[in-house]
A and B are shown apart, each in its own frame.
Chain A
Amino acid sequence: MRQRYTRAVKSLGCIVCLLVVTLPVIAQDTDVASYDIDVVLDAESHRLTGSETIRWRNTTSAATSELWFHLYLNAFASTGSTFVRELSREPIAGIRKLDGDWGWTRVTRIELSDGTDLLPGMSFERPDDGNVHDFTAARVVLPREVFPGESVTVEVDFVSQLPRVVARTGYSGDFHMVAQWFPKLAVFEGEDGWNCHQFHLSTEFFADFGDYRVRMTIPRGWVVGATGEEIIREPVGTGDVVEFRARRVHDFAWTTAPPDLMDVFDVEFDPGRHVPMVWLERASELLDLGAADLELPPMTIRFLVPKTHGVLIPRMIRAARLSVAWFGLYFGPYPHARLTVVSPPPDARAAGGMEYPTLFTTGASRLDASPVFSWRTAIEAVTAHEFGHQYFQGMLASNEFEEAWLDEGLTSWAENRCVSDLIRDELVPDTPLARDWGMDRVLVSLEDHPVVMDLPNWEQRRILDAFLATYIKPALAVETLGGLYGEDRLLRAVRDYVREHRYTHPTGDDLRVALERSLGEDLGWFFDGVIRSDQRPDWAVLEVRHHWIRPARGMTWSDGGWQELDDDGKSGPWRVEIDLGRRTELIGPVEVELHWETGRIERRIWDGRERWIRWTIESPEVVIRVVVDPDGAWVLETRRADNYWHDEEWPRDPDHTEPLWWLEGALRLVGFLIVPWG
């Protein structure tokens, strides 16, 4: 007995030792690029003067003698930058034209830790478009190669000028949204070299995980919010020095403003009080997990809110807490102890709606408090979306240049489900409009040319195509998988994907493998057809015919002799021929619903492999209605009129008259409104 006990203790000890040894290794492997930054903000000139120490580890299996950097504030340096050129080609509402308020980053010193000057070997690169006026990507040549497993430490001095707020960074008055502000390493991908793209109009970011320590000097008494946790705040000279630290993040953004402009306050997320019971029960049922598996840790949420938005604060807090609860339940706990939510002031709305690790900006407007707009759920939707990025961008750092759909699509899908639950469970009062997939389907139906999701956004034909390819179509694609394989299985599969790939750079292929493994299905046809190409689903009921099978007449051999067939005059059975068609190249399974005259409803699956199929059914009753994909499992399918067939001889359901009835009512009202002006 004692021997067994000793063996058990030894085994346990081994496991503990193994964990002690391996856990730091696992943690270390995710820490590729760590930054130690000291920066001073001159609030008058909106200029940052900083120095950073970057420690980069080569975790790949190839050596490199280069370092590539993002210098993304240079996107706003001139009208010649790729960002501004793309903007002038296709202006976007909400992104103003730069008009002399330039933004830029200058590297004034770059040295190795041994003092080797790297600045002479620094050059600007334009891997995407060769635009010589673009200075958003730079390459530095090292004096020797960094081999796999080795590290290199680089010290950089820089000066960054913030632009007037544009594309989610910059200043407006005394408000400063400081993002993409320091020279930041790109991602080294071993044999494939450095993955570094220029700053584009409709793309976001890609960087390695690491630890950040940022010490910022700001004007005395100003409020501040940043990635990570505030460790120190102390007065130094005429300003305050504030130090933030963040573990295992891939970017660092911060914001600061005078206290008479913005309020800052912390609220607690207490899972015992802030996770709605109905959500816990639903998540438990859908994920097939017990309450203990869905336990969430408490955390702190810091808000920076304009003074004039005080009336909106309860909504903001509620939206943030519910987002933390919803995403935590379905995709696992938020991994940090603090989250910072920034609501930009009125003149800095262009800083709104952006995600950074442990910090995001929303886009509340004072008009949201007006009865005219109180029905909108913009605050809740933006909060849910940006918090969702804490998972699909903050934890799963996919390449937002090359596969923007992966992060934005999953986030948009999750946002829709989250806001839908918020409204369905009446957690947002005064919101009469339900959230569903209708608007997304309508948006996709308006595309005039098929859009490929798996394409860098700057290669899309129009900005609208980039929007559809990045947000709407992938969200619908993911929801389609839920329709085909079940909501519960899909949620479990995405949860597994998040858990499996946290703190890595998952690709679309990784998503496919993870989903296939969780769902136990081959999704090659789906990813090849829907994600990697421009195929769209489109099924149709081509034709339905009924043939009365006449009873046989004449003679038949029976009872050892020829007998005359007895025609009892009753109707014979029907031979029903149902022709179904597939109008596009996309092959996939689809459900078909047959309504029989007796009220019986039958469902069948068509694998969709053939261009068309004829089902021949002999039945004593006729089919009065055929519906392809009756549940709308294929939310991606937008041409739906021919999915329905109805026998004209049978009475129609009064339901079908409802849309026409509303149109009639609208015409009546239009007539009423014209008369006064005659």
Chain B
Amino acid sequence: MDQWRIVVVVFVVSALVFVPARLVLWTMVGPALAGLPQGDHPDGEIILILIELVKPVWLPLALAFISGCVTLWAWTVLWHAGLVRWFHYSRKSGVRLAETLSRGLFGWWRWARLGLTSVVVLVLVQSAIAAVYITLEERAIEAFDDSMLGIYLETGILLGLMAAGVIWMATLRGAWVLGDSRRRSAIAAWFAGLWGTIRQPVRSLLTLVTWMAPALVAAIVPTFLGWWFESLRAMIPGTILGVVAGLLVAFCQVGLFLSFAPVSGLTDTANSKEP
């Protein structure tokens, strides 16, 4: 567990990227909501106040949110690339944060291409599923027989979720495949990851679920805990809850990524020649 530094940095950066958006919300909305008395409010009151206050700053808020998303994605590429390159080239010397990040920085564009490939594939697959659903729906409606519409919709949603899972697994495997110095094409690496996923679906899925189930729980449960127990929303307990949940999510994310190295069967390539 000498990767704890990575876990901390992953958590810190993940939290920091949305600070601008948070600042806009806290400064614009927080003071106004402070005046609300306890108990029931008139219908739609909170949403109305949010709209009223956010409407004048929607552009900076949107920019802050989008830039946060982009930064988080770029950062994820960075630490993924850094961990893969560290794993391949310096694993036996122990993880060093600065070295990992610098290695990630140098390999960033290769892994960014892999990430973009996964996004493109995700969009294409989801669009295809949506197109098939819309076509089936139109045909059913034209034929005056919409009895299967529910099944089409539910199947489409299920397929969409499964496809997202498969693409995620392919991306994780592809990231490790891309660490092989003989590989140049990020697209080919992604497809190699897909092929590996198809060949070992159970192993890939078990690894994904093992790490991501607790991560998802950690991402969602604090919100509901704060909803049920309002004392948890106070500054100190709320911050502690957020930090603990964020660290757990980061731990699972790093753990998931590292676990895909042996899943990908690429441990033998460690300490290979650095490109």
Contact = CB atoms under 8 A, between A and B. Distances in A.
B42 A664 contact: no
Contact of A678 (B48, B76, B222): B76
Contacts of A441: 43-44, 48
Contacts of B25: 660, 663
Nearest to A659: B46
A668 B246 contact: yes
A630 B37 contact: yes
A270 interface: no
A114 interface: no
B69 A668 contact: no
Interface string A649-678: 000111111111111110111111011111
Contacts of A678: 72-77, 80, 111, 115
A436 B25 CA distance: 26
B106 interface: no
A95 interface: no
B50 interface: yes
Contacts, number: 203
B44 A654 contact: no
Interface in B145-177: 145-147, 149-150, 153-154, 157, 164, 168, 171-172
A630 B47 CA distance: 16
A442 B223 contact: no
A647 B69 CA distance: 37
Contact of A667 (B18, B215, B216): B18
B41 A653 contact: no
A278 interface: no
Interface string A622-651: 000101011110010011110011101000
B52 A346 contact: no
A675 B72 contact: yes
B21 A667 contact: yes
B37 A625 contact: yes
B51 A677 contact: no
Interface stretch (A65-73, A327-335, A365-373): A365-373
Question: Which of B14, B118, B168, B245: most chain A CB closer than 10 A?
Answer: B14
Interface string B41-71: 1111111111111000000000000000100
Contacts of A635: 42-43
Which of A345, A442, A677 has the most chain B CB atoms closer than 10 A to its own CB? A677
A261 interface: yes
Contacts of A345: 144
Name which of A441, A659, A671 has the most chain B CB atoms within 10 A of its CB. A671
A208 B234 CA distance: 64
B38 A653 contact: yes
Interface string A434-475: 001111111001100000000000000000000000000000
B197 interface: no
Interface residues of A, number: 66
Interface bracket on B: 35 or more
A677 B253 CA distance: 12
Given A366-B149, A370-B150, A372-B154, A661 B43 contact: no
B220 A665 contact: yes
B122 A677 contact: yes
B265 to A, nearest CB: 21
A445 B80 CA distance: 45
The prevalent SS among residues of B at the interface is helix
A345 B33 CA distance: 47
A678 B17 CA distance: 15
A261 B144 contact: yes
A654 B49 contact: no
Contacts of A173: 144
Q: Which of B26, B32, B37 has the most CB of A within 10 A?
A: B37
A674 B18 CA distance: 13
B146 A654 contact: no
Nearest to B138: A347
Nearest to B74: A678
Interface stretch (B93-101, B124-132, B179-187, B224-232): B224-232
A297 to B, nearest CB: 35
A675 B29 CA distance: 28
B18 A659 contact: no
A306 interface: yes
Nearest to B49: A641
A370 B149 contact: yes
A595 B53 CA distance: 24
Given A438-B45, A659-B46, A661-B226, 17 more contacts: A346-B141, A365-B146, A369-B150, A441-B44, A638-B52, A654-B38, A657-B230, A659-B50, A660-B25, A660-B30, A661-B223, A661-B233, A667-B21, A668-B219, A675-B253, A676-B118, A677-B76
13 contacts: A173-B144, A306-B146, A366-B150, A372-B150, A438-B44, A644-B36, A659-B46, A660-B33, A667-B22, A670-B69, A672-B215, A674-B69, A678-B72
